[in-house]
């Protein structure tokens, strides 16, 4: 048997294409720009007060003392709980209400549907800073200042979430919903049992955006709360900076701890975003 | 099981009328196929029967009761959709069992019904699989299983096979027909594929532009179409049509010869229809003889479809056996007396056979 001539080029003679090299270089630079502050945050959290201005990335004598101090401080744990509770509640509320309204706008024909959708969208054009005063006045009159509800109510349902969910529900084929209707389900059960599982990627995206947005929210929680027990983590951490001399190592430790839930949320939910389940039930 | 009656059923969308007051009785246990081109109103009619579309006028009776205002679930019908509509987040077993979601049967009984349906459809080993891991035919069977498990008064099928390949479609046609024999439930089936209609139906309803053109058995429709549309729609390949004139009991057609005796029709311009399988190449005798140049051939193995250019029109004839005529050659094809369909050229209505 004779050997067939190989059609493959030797590895060192492959064409070097500039496209991927440029793309990787740009991505690398972008990644470094974003990661560097985070690395310094972790690095500073491992330094003592005297080493903070020593800008070496790897501390000369790394220590976990700051973590022990922050975790041992009851206020931090309280703020951590406040942030978790608020971010989770608002996320669940958004997933429920934004989906319900988005589904109704996407799948039901009724008079004024378009107008309602436009009205909801138009609220996206108003900056938060303009809304803070009416929110504050409303909270003040209704006795919501310095309450969890006061912090949460502006974000319990968002125009962005409604818009996102409506767009996704529009991609759910009506056949699924009609099949369920013929099977005798009521409209709420159709939404909950059939439509919602088909937009899991959208729900995950909405949950991540909402959780992160509320976890890092600073402006409104700062305005609506005066009692330190109700501070959220960002507001609490900023108070570290102003109450005495600025303790950078403590602030960085708190910030480092604050990133953990956001990373967890992303790691848990990202796979649902990638997984497109919906088309599997349709024609092959 | 139930009889379904459509009494002057109308569907209007804003100012457009999609279904124009149709009347039809579907007997208990009958397999009725609605057939017609896209936009003819067949799916709309089916959806009105299902309760997925409001009825704009007329009455719909299921089992002698007017059900116009009833919700789909109150009509006790089951529907199989073109896209199967089986839920991707549920297993095969859960999908089939979903038909019983609102049923108050005990869990064990539901499980028994699911297993029974799965057995009939050959899905027993797939009950724990997700739809993504199934083939097109298996998915369609799951959809049928979900409909079956409820033991409905009638099954409605909305073009259920159009997403399957030709081989699977033929297999599923047979399976659905067998299922109908086994269950004896009324089936209303919508398709644009006349082969499905011919092979499955007890009764075919031909629709066009929201009107019923003809109702009959497959043989009725094939042998006695009421107009050119039905004649060309039923039968594959489509019926050939050539223009001609009836005069003094004879047929005058450009490029053809009529040798089939005197015809008892009044003089008029007509269209003459002849089915490709009645127009045989290379035979001699009385009847209609067409001759022309071969412009294309479609060998099918046991026979060949031959496209002939006759007087500016192309007609399809059949060459029996395995000899494939050459493109460019000239051939004559003959149709026996009695195999022709005559239509009025102006109204396109059938005049009779010749």
A36 and A88 inside one domain = no
CB-based contact, A182 to chain B, within 8 Å = yes
pTM more than 0.80: no
Q: What is the pLDDT of residue B6?
A: 96
CB atoms within 10 A of CB B212: 22
Q: What is the CATH number of domain B240-353?
A: 2.40.50.140
Residue A266 lies in a domain: yes
Q: How far is B312 from chain A (nearest CA, A)?
A: 43
Q: How far is A163 from chain B (nearest CA, A)?
A: 24
Helix then strand then coil, % of chain B, to nearest 5: 25, 40, 35
CB-based contact, A121 to chain B, within 8 Å = no
Q: How far is B15 from chain A (nearest CA, A)?
A: 17
Q: What is the pLDDT of residue A98?
A: 96
CB contact under 8 A, B85 and A182: no
Q: Which residue of chain A is at minimal alpha-carbon distance from B86?
A: A281
Q: What is the pLDDT of residue A277?
A: 39
Instruction: Specify which of B227-231, B311-315, B337-341 reaches the highest per-range mean pLDDT.
Output: B227-231
Chain A residues 245-284 within an 8 A CB cutoff of chain B: 277-284
**For A197-220, what is the HEC assignment?**
HHCHHHHHHHHHHHHHHHHCCCHH
Q: What is the pLDDT of residue A225?
A: 92
Residue A43 in tokens: 């690095």
Residues of B in contact with A178 (CB under 8 A): 50, 52, 79, 81, 85
On average, the pLDDT of chain B sits at 90
Comma-separated ranges of CATH 2.40.50.140 domains in chain B = 240-353
CB-based contact, A181 to chain B, within 8 Å = yes
Instruction: Return the higher-pLDDT residue of A249 and B277.
Output: B277
pLDDT of B300 > 80? The answer is yes
d(CA B54, CA B44): 10
Q: What is the CATH number of the domain that holds A93?
A: 1.10.3720.10
Q: What is the pLDDT of residue B255?
A: 66
A139 and A42 inside one domain = no
Residues of B in contact with A182 (CB under 8 A): 50-52, 72-73, 77-79
Q: How many CA atoms lie within 13 A of A258 on its CB side?
A: 29
- From A47, A63, A79, the end of a domain falls on A63
Residues of A in contact with B78 (CB under 8 A): 182-183
pLDDT of B249 > 90? The answer is no
Q: What is the pLDDT of residue A283?
A: 39
CB atoms within 10 A of CB B71: 12
Q: Which residue of chain B is at minimal alpha-carbon distance from A282?
A: B83
Three-point CA angle B66, B67, B71, nearest 5°: 165
A108 and A167 inside one domain = yes
Instruction: Specify which of A46-60, B23-37, B99-113, B132-146 reaches the highest per-range mean pLDDT.
Output: B23-37
Q: What is the pLDDT of residue A1?
A: 41
Of the residues A109, A175, A182, the best mutation for testing chain B's interface (the one with the most B CB atoms within 10 Å of its CB) is A182
Q: What is the pLDDT of residue B128?
A: 94
- Lowest-confidence range among A13-27, B107-121, B191-205, B300-314? A13-27
| Candidate from B82, B101, B130 with C-beta closest to A184 | B101
CB B81 within 8 A of CB A273: no
| Candidate from A185, A198, A283 with C-beta closest to B102 | A185
Q: Looking at the 3D structure of chain A, how many domains does it have? A: 2
* Strands of B36-111, DSSP E: 57-62, 65-66, 77-80
Q: For B73, phi and psi rounded to 5 degrees?
A: -65, -25
Asked if the interface predicted TM-score (ipTM) of this complex is over 0.85, the answer is no
CB contact under 8 A, A179 and B72: no
Per-block mean pLDDT, blocks of 10 residues, chain A (284 long): 48 72 94 92 89 84 88 87 95 96 95 94 89 94 94 94 93 92 91 93 89 91 92 86 75 88 81 51 39
Residue-range definition of the domain harbouring residue A35: 19-63
At B25-83, the pLDDT tens digits run 999 999 999 999 998 999 999 999 999 999 999 999 998 899 999 999 889 899 999 88
Tell me the three state secondary structure of residue B322: coil
Which CATH number is B4-233's, of 3.40.1360.10, 3.40.50.300, 3.20.20.210, 3.40.50.720? 3.40.50.300
Comma-separated ranges of CATH 3.40.50.300 domains in chain B = 4-233
CB A175 within 8 A of CB B81: yes
A37 and A146 inside one domain = no
At B173-193, the pLDDT tens digits run 988 998 899 889 999 999 999
Q: What is the pLDDT of residue A58?
A: 86
CB contact under 8 A, A185 and B85: no
CB-based contact, A107 to chain B, within 8 Å = no
Q: Are strands B287-299 and B256-259 parallel, antiparallel or unpaired?
A: antiparallel
Chain A residues 142-161 within an 8 A CB cutoff of chain B: none
A and B: number of Cβ contacts within 8 A: 85
CB-based contact, B141 to chain A, within 8 Å = no
């Amino acid at each position: 048997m004779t050997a067939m001539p190989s059609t493959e080029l030797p590895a060192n003679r492959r064409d070097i294409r500039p496209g991927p090299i440029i793309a990787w270089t740009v991505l690398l630079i972008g990644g470094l720009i974003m990661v560097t502050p985070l690395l310094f945050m972790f690095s500073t959290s491992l330094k003592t007060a005297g080493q903070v201005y020593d800008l070496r990335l790897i501390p000369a004598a790394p220590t976990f003392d700051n973590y022990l101090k922050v975790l041992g401080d009851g206020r931090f744990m309280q703020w951590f709980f406040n942030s978790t509770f608020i971010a989770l509640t608002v996320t669940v509320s958004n997933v429920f209400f934004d989906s319900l309204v988005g589904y109704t706008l996407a799948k039901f024909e009724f008079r004024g549907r378009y107008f309602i959708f436009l009205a909801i969208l138009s609220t996206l054009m108003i900056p938060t800073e303009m809304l803070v005063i009416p929110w504050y006045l409303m909270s003040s009159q209704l006795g919501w200042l310095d309450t969890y509800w006061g912090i949460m109510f502006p974000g319990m349902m968002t125009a962005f979430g409604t818009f996102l969910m409506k767009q996704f529900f529009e991609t759910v084929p009506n056949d699924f919903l009609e099949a369920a209707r013929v099977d005798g389900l009521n409209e709420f059960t159709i939404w909950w049992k059939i439509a919602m599982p088909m937009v899991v990627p959208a729900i995950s995206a909405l949950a991540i955006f909402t959780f992160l947005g509320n976890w890092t929210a600073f402006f409104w929680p700062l305005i609506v709360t005066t009692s330190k027990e109700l501070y959220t983590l960002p507001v609490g951490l900023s108070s570290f900076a102003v109450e005495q001399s600025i303790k950078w190592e403590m602030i960085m430790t708190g910030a480092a701890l604050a990133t953990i839930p956001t990373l967890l949320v992303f790691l848990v939910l990202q796979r649902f975003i990638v997984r497109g389940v919906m088309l599997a039930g349709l024609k092959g | 099981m139930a009889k379904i009656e459509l009494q002057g059923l109308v569907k209007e969308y804003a100012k457009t009328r999609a279904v124009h007051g149709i009347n039809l009785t579907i007997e208990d246990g009958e397999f009725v196929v609605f057939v017609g081109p896209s936009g003819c109103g067949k799916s709309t009619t089916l959806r009105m029967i299902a309760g997925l579309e409001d009825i704009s006028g007329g009455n719909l009776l299921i089992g002698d009761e007017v059900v116009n205002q009833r919700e789909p679930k109150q009509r006790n019908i089951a529907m199989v959709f073109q896209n199967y509509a089986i839920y991707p987040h549920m297993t095969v077993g859960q999908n089939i069992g979903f038909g019983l979601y609102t049923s108050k049967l005990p869990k064990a009984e539901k499980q028994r019904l699911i297993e029974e349906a799965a057995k009939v459809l050959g899905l027993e080993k797939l009950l724990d699989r997700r739809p993504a891991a199934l083939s097109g035919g298996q998915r369609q069977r799951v959809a049928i299983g979900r409909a079956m498990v409820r033991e409905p008064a009638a099954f409605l099928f909305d073009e259920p096979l159009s997403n399957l390949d030709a081989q699977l479609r033929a297999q599923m046609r047979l399976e659905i027909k067998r299922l109908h024999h086994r269950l004896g439930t009324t089936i209303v089936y919508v398709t644009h594929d006349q082969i499905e209609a011919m092979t499955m139906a007890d009764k075919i309803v031909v629709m066009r532009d929201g009107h019923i053109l003809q109702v009959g058995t497959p043989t009725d429709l094939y042998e006695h179409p009421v107009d050119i549309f039905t004649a060309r729609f039923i039968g594959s390949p489509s019926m050939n049509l050539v223009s001609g004139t009836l005069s003094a009991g004879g047929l005058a057609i450009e490029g053809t010869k009529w040798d089939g005796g005197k015809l008892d029709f009044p003089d008029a311009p007509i269209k003459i229809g002849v089915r490709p399988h009645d127009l045989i190449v290379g035979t001699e005798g009385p009847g209609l003889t067409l001759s022309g140049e071969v412009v294309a051939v479609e060998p099918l193995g046991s026979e060949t479809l031959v496209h002939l250019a006759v007087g500016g029109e192309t007609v399809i004839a059949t060459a029996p056996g395995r000899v494939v005529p050459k493109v460019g050659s000239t051939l004559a094809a003959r149709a026996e007396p009695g195999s022709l369909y005559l239509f009025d050229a102006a109204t396109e209505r059938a005049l009779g056979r010749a």
